[in-house]
Amino acid sequence: MKSMTAFARIERSSDDFQIIIEIRAVNSKALDIHLRLSPIYYGLEDNIKKCIGTYVQRGRIDLNLQINSSNNELNDFEIDWVRAETFYNVLMQLNEKFDLQSSLTLENFIRVGNIIKPVETEKDLEEIWKHILPCLQDALVALNDMKEKEGSNLACDITKRLDYLETCVDQIESLSDNELPRYQEKLQERIAKLVQKAFEIDPVRLIQEAAYLAERSDITEEITRLRSHIQQLRDLIQMNNAIGRKINFLLQELARELNTIGSKTTQIEVSQLIVDMKTEQEKIREQVQNIE
């Protein structure tokens, strides 16, 4: 089981490149990939996303790719003459309008930005991808390692809560085994009060009424389904694929059975156990929001 929250950073250097990849993973209902890279590498977006998709199935992924060339090129800057001339003409108009009589310096142009900028030379993306791919794969492996460690901690916590839920189910089942005699005793007490023991109560009729009430309050099917849901949850958290949505569904079904039992029972002890189980179910649901 994997968490959706993790971070990885990988740096690799070769004769031609220094590649730095940072990946942050957080919660999301689906796989949501966001890339930050230089425009000259936009052609690699599909390759990067496909690679991420083979390692991550769910969550928001923010990837920052930085590629530094190891070659020291001298002529790797250019001037945006249109922007420079526009800026110059504006300053001249200001000087003339307000009689500033100030002189222009190189610093004035540098402060504007994007007048002097690096030359974006055409890159051989296929060749660069050969360097990026192994670095990206290492980063994703490191990311998954962290996701699995966090997922293991979540699995331990959820397992403990499932153990408690199972203990509660056992207690509820034990309490419900004595429903018929309990209903029979309660009916006898109520009828005796109403008629003030003026006549003898038909024991057969009493048993029939008690059996009817017990049948209406029978929770055998709900107990069976609760056990099934808990076992399925145990099985799911042992898997290593995307299971978050399946666990969410089972938790909803588990909550439905708890509500049904709560509406049927008249025992205070069972009602209290249902409240406790709902609390644990909600805690598991909160944890599941972090599961891939």
Whether residue 236 contacts residue 243, with contact meaning beta carbons closer than 8 Å, is answered with: yes
User: For helices 125-176 and 268-288, what crossing angle results, to 10°?
Assistant: 180
Residue 217 pLDDT: 62
CA distance 122 to 143: 32
Residues 160 and 138 in one domain: no
Residue ranges of E strands in the chain: 6-13, 17-26, 31-36, 59-69, 77-79, 116-118
Give the CATH number for residue 37: 3.30.230
In a domain, 1, yes or no: no
Decide the pairing of beta strands 31-36 and 77-79: unpaired
Interatomic CA distance for residues 173 and 272, integer angstroms: 14
Tokens standing for residue 209: 């009424």
32 and 48 belong to one structural domain: yes
User: Residue 178 is encoded by which pair of tokens?
Assistant: 């004595």
For residues 189 and 107, state if they share a domain.
Answer: no
291 secondary structure, DSSP code: B
* Cα distance between residue 122 and residue 91, in whole Å: 35
CA pair distance 268, 274, nearest whole angstrom: 10
> Where residue 237 sits, what CATH number does that domain have?
1.20.140
In a domain, 96, yes or no: yes
User: 94 and 34, same structural domain?
Assistant: no
In a domain, 60, yes or no: yes
The answer to whether position 140 is within a domain reads: yes
Same domain, 214 and 267: yes
Whether residues 24 and 105 share a domain: the answer is no
**Sheet of strand 31-36: strand arrangement:** 6-13, 17-26, 59-69, 31-36
What is the residue type of 145?
D
Q: Is 166 a member of any domain?
A: yes
52/104 same-domain check: no
Please check whether residues 161 and 281 belong to one and the same domain. Answer: yes
Which residue, 7, 8, 27, 59, is CA-closest to 287? 27
35 in a structural domain:
yes
Residue 60 to residues 53, 136, 235, 291, Cα–Cα distance (Å) = 11, 17, 26, 12
Question: Do 283 and 208 fall into the same domain?
Answer: yes
Note whether residue 251 is domain-resident: yes
- What is the full per-residue pLDDT of the chain (292 aa) written as tens digits? 899 999 999 999 877 778 999 999 999 988 999 999 988 899 999 999 999 999 999 999 999 999 987 665 545 678 888 888 898 888 888 888 888 777 777 787 777 777 887 666 556 888 889 999 999 999 999 999 999 999 999 999 999 999 999 999 999 988 876 655 665 566 556 655 655 555 565 666 556 555 555 556 678 889 999 999 999 999 999 887 778 889 999 999 999 999 999 888 878 898 999 999 999 999 999 998 889 8
Q: How many residues does the chain have?
A: 292
Contact between 240 and 183 (Cβ < 8 Å): no
- Please, which residues bridge with residue 117 across strands? 78
Using CA atoms, how far apart are residues 264 and 214, in angstroms rounded to an integer?
10
Residues 83 and 209 in one domain: no
Residue 129 confidence (pLDDT): 93
CB 242 within 8 A of CB 228: no
Q: Identify the domain containing residue 83 by its residue range.
A: 77-118
| Domain count within the chain | 3
The residues near 32 (Cβ < 8 Å, ≥ 6 apart) are 59, 60, 61
Does residue 182 fall inside a structural domain?
Answer: yes
Q: Are residues 15 and 81 in the same domain?
A: no
**Beta strand 59-69 pairing with 116-118:** unpaired
Domain shared by 160 and 242, yes or no: yes
